[in-house]
Amino acid sequence: MTQRHTTLGRFPTTRLRRNRRTGWSRRLVAETRLSVDDLIWPVFVQEGRGTRTPVASMPGVDRLSIDLLVEAAKEARDLGIPALAIFPETDPKAKTPDAREAYNPGNLVCRAVSAVKNAVPDLGVMTDVALDPFNSDGHDGIVRDGYVQNDETLDALIKQAVVQTEAGADIQAPSDMMDGRIGAIRRALDDKGHVHQQIMSYAAKYASALYNPFRDAIGSSGALQTLNSVRDKKTYQMDVANSDEALREVGFDIEEGADMVMVKPGLPYLDVVRRVKDRFGVPTYAYQVSGEYAMLRGAADRGWLDWNKVLLETLLSFRRAGCDGILTYGAVDAARLLTAKR
């Protein structure tokens, strides 16, 4: 192992500000880089044609019909963004307690994936593997007797991952936090011949209060059923107090076949990102979630923050903590800013 010099400089011989004095010097000594290659853009799709619906709790974010989503995908490709993550607003009439619409090959997600891949084949497409957009209870799994059932949910998740893959999705991203789902999905995909299909596991997904705007966007907030007298997902998502447990979750998912892992949310959990990256050294991602985005964008819209500056600063902090990439609703804005810097 290379030994670092531990002798400390002393003022005035050593002046740390020398390296900060000019822009070219700051670039030379920068320890962390942020590029368009580090971005994944989460997008929301809705039924209809030529329709765009603003998400009130996420300023600047719209739900898009499939035709407009295709145009957005082309813009992402042209900006150099590597991948989209597609999330649906499902018609409430299609939602059922068993969430069977999740594995309907003709559902909104599958149609959107096929349209994007046909139009922009060189853009990566990631799809969520979880039941909350399709579940009339609003939960990520199937509810029986006031509890989200783990093993019954796995059967639905497997079928969901298969139909999304067959629609053309490149990365399956299980976000449900059921035990054993990565191994179950990996085996099912391999059995179907999809051995090259990537899995990005939401390995350490916390029961955070920062998800509400996302639930507004996919239409699940009103459906979320009260379990154990609490309107939350604490029986399957992680306790916000725990980080040792996150390492166990990540370790299990890697053993079961995850190609990449994710920590969610982002900024409040950068300590977890650092621990995961240091322990496992696998491709590690974080999600700058809807609540994080809404706070920054809402403050910027009121003139309290400079949106461009806080966006790039926060994304760079993800990279500094060890992220190989970031899911952010600000991906297009960030890509434009980074491209303009070249």
Domain assignment of residue 208, given as a range: 33-341
pLDDT at 8: 76
> Average pLDDT for residues 189-210, to the nearest whole number?
97
In a domain, 59, yes or no: yes
Report the distance separating Cα 26 and Cα 21, nearest Å. Answer: 7
pLDDT at 224: 66
R_g over Cα of the chain: 21
pLDDT at 341: 76
- pLDDT above 50 for 230: no
192 vs 4, higher pLDDT? 192
194 vs 14, higher pLDDT? 194
- pLDDT above 90 for 228: no
In a domain, 219, yes or no: yes
pLDDT at 6: 61
Q: What angle do CA 81, 32, 280 make, to 5 degrees?
A: 85
Percent of the chain clearing pLDDT 90 (strictly above): 87
- pLDDT above 60 for 225: no
Let me know if 192 is a catalytic residue.
Answer: no
> Average pLDDT for residues 247-270, to the nearest whole number?
98
pLDDT at 69: 98
Of 117, 205, 233, 277, which one is the catalytic site residue?
205
In a domain, 117, yes or no: yes
Of 95, 117, 233, 264, which one is the catalytic site residue?
264
pLDDT at 1: 47
In a domain, 112, yes or no: yes
- pLDDT above 80 for 134: yes
Report the distance separating Cα 175 and Cα 242, nearest Å. Answer: 18
What does the mean pLDDT of the chain come to? 94
Q: What is the pLDDT of residues 8-67, one digit of tens each?
A: 788 988 899 999 999 999 999 999 999 999 999 999 999 999 999 999 999 999 999 999
pLDDT band at residue 223 under the 50/70/90 scheme = low
Q: What is the dihedral of CA 148, 101, 116, 282, to 10 degrees?
A: 20
Percent of the chain clearing pLDDT 70 (strictly above): 94
CATH of the domain at 220: 3.20.20.70
Q: Which residues pair with 86 in a beta bridge?
A: 43, 127
How many structural domains is the chain composed of?
A: 1
- pLDDT above 90 for 5: no
pLDDT at 146: 85
In a domain, 15, yes or no: no
Q: What is the pLDDT of residues 82-126, one digit of tens each?
A: 999 999 999 999 999 999 999 999 999 999 999 999 999 999 999
In a domain, 14, yes or no: no
Q: How far apart are the first and last CA of the chain?
A: 36
pTM of the model: 0.94
Return the SS3 of 140. coil
Q: In which residue are the tokens 């090959």 written?
A: 105
pLDDT at 220: 74
Q: In which residue are the tokens 């902090």 written?
A: 317
Report the distance separating Cα 112 and Cα 70, nearest Å. Answer: 8
- pLDDT above 80 for 262: yes
The closest of 264, 263, 268 to 279, measured between CA atoms, is 263
Let me know if 205 is a catalytic residue.
Answer: yes
In a domain, 69, yes or no: yes
In a domain, 21, yes or no: no
Report the distance separating Cα 111 and Cα 101, nearest Å. Answer: 13
- pLDDT above 70 for 226: no
pLDDT band at residue 232 under the 50/70/90 scheme = confident
- pLDDT above 50 for 167: yes
Residues 6+ apart with CB under 8 A from 228: 146, 147, 235
Angle at which helices 307-321 and 270-280 cross, to 10°: 30
